[in-house]
C-alpha cells in the first residue's frame, strides 16, 4: 500500500499528536504525484521541486568513485570528516569573508537535516520561530516537529517580499528564539541587500535572545544588479547568534547525494552534533569525500549552471512581462519566479470558468 505523505490513515491510531499535526513535505509530495502521472503515460512538467536537472560535475563523480574504490566504508566523525570541514571553513573565508574554526562546522545529510538538528537542539515547547512568508515549505513543519511554534509574517509584494524592520519588531515576543532569513529566497527569488540586513540586525540588537537562521543555499544564484551578502557580512557583531546554512544540492546539482552544512557558535554546533549522533550519525563517508572535491575543486561546472539560469530567468521574465496584470516582484536570485496573480483571482474565463482562489 502506498500512502501519500500528507494523508491521514483512518483507524491507524499509533501516530503521535505531534506527527498528526504536521504536513509531509509538499514539494516531495508533488514530485510523487508527478511521477505517478508520468507512470500512467501523462506528459507532466514538474515545477514543484527545486532540482536543477543538470548532471553532477565530472570531477565530483570521479572523487566519489575513487572513494568507493579506496574503501571509504567506515563510520566518520558525526560532525563530518576533518578535510571536508576544513574545506568548508576555507570556502567560507574565501567566498564569504567569514572566519570559522573546524569545531564550528557540522556536516549533515542535507541542509534540511541541519535545520532539523538546530531546531531540536534549541526549541522548548512553545518557543517561537519567525518565518517571513512566502517561505520554503519545510521551515514551519520542522519547527512544529521540534515542538516549537512557527510565527509566519506575511511580507508585501511591494517590498519585494522582504520582511521590514517594523514587521520584525512587531513579531518578536519573549518566546522568540529564531528569525529565518532565506536569501536568495525560495520561492520569491528576493535577495536582501547589506543595508536591509543591517536594518534587521539593528532590530535584533534590542532582542539578545533572538538568533538568525541564515539559509544561503542559493547564494551563487544571484543576478545583477544584486550581489550576495549575508547577515554576518552586514552585522559581524551578530556572530554568536547566527547559524549559517548551505549545501551542495543547488550549487552542484547534487540534491540526491544529500550533503549540507551548518556553521555557527561552537556550543550550538556541539548540541546539534549531539542530536545528529542519535539520528543518522555522520553522513555518508563516500559523499563526504566527494564533497571535498565539490567545495575545494574546480567551480567551472557550477559557474555554468548559474549562467544557464541567468539566461533562463531573463527569458522567463520577458515572457511574463507580456502577460497583463502579472507583476513579478522579488526575482533577483535563486531559480524561481513568483508572479503576483492576485489580479486574476476570481475572474472568469471566456468559457465562464472561474479561476482558482
Binding site for ligand PLP (CB under 6 A): 50, 110-112, 136, 182, 186, 215, 217, 247, 249, 255, 260
Q: Which of 188, 141, 219, 180 is nearest to 330 (CA)?
A: 188
Rounded to the nearest whole angstrom, what is the least distance from the CB of residue 301 to ligand PLP in the complex? 18
Of 122 and 249, the one with the shorter C-beta distance to ligand PLP is 249
From residue 137, how far is each of 21, 44, 157 by CA, in Å? 15, 22, 18
Residue 133, helix vs strand vs coil? strand
Of 176 and 186, the one with the shorter C-beta distance to ligand PLP is 186
From residue 295, how far is each of 84, 183, 344 by CA, in Å? 8, 20, 44
Of 50 and 327, the one with the shorter C-beta distance to ligand PLP is 50
SS3 helix, strand, coil % of the chain, rounded to 5?
A: 45, 10, 45
Of 117 and 249, the one with the shorter C-beta distance to ligand PLP is 249
Nearest residue to ligand PLP, by Cβ distance, number only = 110
Rounded to the nearest whole angstrom, what is the least distance from the CB of residue 280 to ligand PLP in the complex? 13
348 grid coordinates: 472568469
Of 122 and 186, the one with the shorter C-beta distance to ligand PLP is 186
Of 148 and 260, the one with the shorter C-beta distance to ligand PLP is 260
Rounded to the nearest whole angstrom, what is the least distance from the CB of residue 219 to ligand PLP in the complex? 11
Rounded to the nearest whole angstrom, what is the least distance from the CB of residue 259 to ligand PLP in the complex? 7
Taken as a whole, the chain contains a residue count of 357
Distance in angstroms (rounded) separating the CA atoms of residues 346 and 195:
38
Rounded to the nearest whole angstrom, what is the least distance from the CB of residue 182 to ligand PLP in the complex? 5
User: By the 8 A CB rule, do 232 and 238 touch?
Assistant: yes
Let me know how many helices (H) and strands (E) the chain has, helices first.
13, 7
Q: Which of 254, 243, 242 is nearest to 106 (CA)?
A: 243
Rounded to the nearest whole angstrom, what is the least distance from the CB of residue 65 to ligand PLP in the complex? 22
Helix axes 285-296, 58-69, angle to 10 degrees: 140
Q: For the CA atoms of 298, 85, 116, 173, what is the dihedral angle to 10 degrees?
A: -100
Rounded to the nearest whole angstrom, what is the least distance from the CB of residue 102 to ligand PLP in the complex? 21
Of 256 and 322, the one with the shorter C-beta distance to ligand PLP is 256
Beta carbons within 10 angstroms of residue 312's beta carbon:
12
Amino acid at each position: 500500500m502506498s500512502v501519500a505523505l500528507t494523508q491521514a490513515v483512518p483507524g491507524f491510531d499509533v501516530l503521535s499528536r505531534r506527527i498528526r499535526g504536521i504536513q509531509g513535505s509538499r514539494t516531495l509530495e508533488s514530485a510523487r504525484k508527478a511521477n505517478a502521472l508520468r507512470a500512467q503515460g501523462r506528459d507532466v512538467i514538474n515545477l514543484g521541486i527545486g532540482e536543477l536537472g543538470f548532471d553532477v560535475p565530472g570531477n565530483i563523480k570521479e572523487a566519489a568513485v575513487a572513494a568507493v574504490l579506496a574503501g571509504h566504508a567506515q563510520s566518520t566523525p558525526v560532525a563530518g570528516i576533518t578535510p571536508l570541514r576544513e574545506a568548508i571553513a576555507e570556502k567560507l573565508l574565501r567566498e564569504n569573508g567569514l572566519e570559522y574554526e573546524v569545531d564550528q562546522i557540522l556536516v549533515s545529510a542535507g541542509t534540511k537535516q541541519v535545520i532539523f538538528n538546530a531546531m531540536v537542539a534549541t526549541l522548548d515547547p512553545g518557543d517561537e520561530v519567525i518565518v517571513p512568508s512566502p517561505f520554503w515549505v519545510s521551515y514551519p513543519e520542522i519547527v512544529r516537529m521540534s515542538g516549537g511554534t512557527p510565527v509566519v509574517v506575511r511580507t508585501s509584494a511591494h517590498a519585494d517580499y522582504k520582511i521590514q524592520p517594523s514587521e520584525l519588531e512587531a513579531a518578536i515576543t519573549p518566546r522568540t528564539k529564531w528569525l529565518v532569513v532565506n536569501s536568495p529566497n525560495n520561492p520569491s527569488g528576493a535577495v536582501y541587500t547589506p543595508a536591509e540586513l543591517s536594518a534587521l540586525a539593528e532590530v535584533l540588537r534590542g532582542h539578545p535572545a533572538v538568533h538568525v537562521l541564515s539559509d544561503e543555499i542559493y547564494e551563487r544564484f544571484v543576478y545583477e544588479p544584486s550581489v550576495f551578502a549575508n547577515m554576518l557580512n552586514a552585522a559581524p557583531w551578530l556572530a554568536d547568534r547566527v547559524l549559517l546554512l548551505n549545501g551542495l544540492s543547488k550549487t552542484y546539482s547534487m540534491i540526491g547525494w544529500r550533503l549540507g552544512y551548518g556553521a555557527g557558535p561552537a556550543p550550538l554546533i556541539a548540541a546539534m552534533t549531539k542530536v545528529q549522533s542519535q539520528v543518522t550519525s555522520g553522513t555518508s563517508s563516500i559523499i563526504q569525500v566527494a564533497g571535498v572535491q565539490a567545495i575545494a575543486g574546480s567551480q567551472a561546472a557550477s559557474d555554468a549552471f548559474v549562467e544557464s539560469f541567468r539566461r533562463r530567468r531573463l527569458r522567463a521574465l520577458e515572457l511574463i512581462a507580456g502577460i497583463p496584470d502579472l507583476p513579478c516582484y522579488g526575482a533577483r536570485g535563486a531559480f524561481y519566479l513568483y508572479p503576483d496573480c492576485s489580479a486574476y483571482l476570481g475572474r472568469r474565463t471566456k468559457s465562464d470558468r472561474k479561476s482558482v482562489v
